[in-house]
Amino acid sequence: MTKIIAQLCVSLDGFYSGPRDDEPNWFKSTEAAGFFRITRWVTESMAWRGRQHLEGGEANVDDEIIAESFARPGAYVMGRRMFDGGERPWGEEPPFRNPVFVVTHRERERLERLGGTSFTFVTEGLEAAIEQARAAAGEKDVAIAGGGTMIQQALSLGLLDELELHVVPVLLGRGQRLLDVDLGDREGIELVVERTVATPEVTHIRYRIEGRAPLVLDSRGGKYEGLAG
């Protein structure tokens, strides 16, 4: 059964990049500085480097996690801002090798790239993009590639089945925080840990998303019973 999945690298204090700014060259921005630090372990892996047509890389547990992340999806969904930042660096043969559906307000013709990647621009919103991606994925999963705001939106709307966080042992102090989702005052999103893999560079935690649930006060074993009323 097709799952809607997402993964993202985050710092120990929960940021997936540095603070957002309007620097035209994203690679010189404050965002990029934080992002490059928490994704450093990715670029050292053989699986990632192979997708970029680069030589070298390490074959280890982190590399296996990266290889798995490429193998699972049959289609991707991403935001327009991520596409705009990646279109030129990805070049004529992007690393996705599957259909990608870009959520945007600006219409654009479908792009075909080498290696099996295509970009379809969806102006009807995230849910419509996910449905098109699900149809294209066959029996494989649909991965929300990002950016972080797109994953936040999917969490808030209850569209994600699984979230994997790659937690890097660094404190960024400020930046764009992933898990600032839109919830009510007495409401939470419940998750269940399905897998934890720890290495010196990063801890990989995979969660199954159970969904929204009310935050209910308990009696602490009867000691505070009656006080909540």
For residue range 143-194, list pLDDT tens digits in order.
Answer: 999 889 999 999 999 999 999 999 999 999 999 999 988 888 899 999 999 9
pLDDT tens sequence across 97-116: 999 999 999 999 999 999 99
pLDDT of residue 227: 66
Rounded to 5°, the CA angle 113-147-168 comes to: 115
Which run of H or of E encompasses 194?
Answer: strand 187-198
Helices 126-137 and 148-156: crossing angle in degrees, nearest 10, is: 100
Structural domain boundaries of the chain? Answer: 4-214
- Say what the pLDDT of residue 220 is: 77
83-106 mean pLDDT: 93
Indicate the average pLDDT of the chain: 93
Q: What pLDDT does residue 68 have?
A: 97
Confidence band for 1, pLDDT divided at 50, 70 and 90: confident
In the numeric block, which tokens belong to residue 149?
């705001």
Extract the tokens encoding 182. Answer: 């839109």
Identity at 162, one-letter amino acid code: E
Architecture of domain 4-214: 3-Layer(aba) Sandwich (3.40)
Cα(29)–Cα(25) distance, rounded to whole angstroms?
7
